Amino acid sequence: MTNNDVLKKLRIALDLKEADLFAVFALTEHSVNKAELSGYFRKPGHKNYKECSDEVLEAFLDGYILFRRGPKDAPADVDGAEAE
């Protein structure tokens, strides 16, 4: 399974739209444009196909963690009570 396949499967499983993907990548140091992003989801024989590198997949996974959880140093909200 290629990195492109993993990215496709995660996008579908997590129900992420294009705007969500841009938000995820914006949370990391890796920036992607619309053409590059759509190239990751093309078939390998397509003229606009772009190989998803390990760095891009790692940036996506790191960004998704921040997207769902928030920054690491953010205070945890336990049982809905705010920290004093």
- pLDDT tens digit at each of 84 positions of the chain: 999 999 999 999 999 999 999 999 999 988 899 999 999 999 999 999 999 999 999 999 999 999 988 777 766 665 555 554
Return the residue matching tokens 């953010």: 74
At 23 the pLDDT is: 93
Which residues lie below 8 Å from residue 24, measured CB to CB, with a gap of 6+? 16, 60, 63, 64, 66, 67
In a 13 Å sphere around the CA of 72, the CA atoms on its Cβ side amount to 2
At 31 the pLDDT is: 87
Which residues lie below 8 Å from residue 6, measured CB to CB, with a gap of 6+? 52, 57
| Domains of the chain by residue range | 3-69
Cut 0.85: pTM above it? no
Amino acid identity of 70?
Answer: G
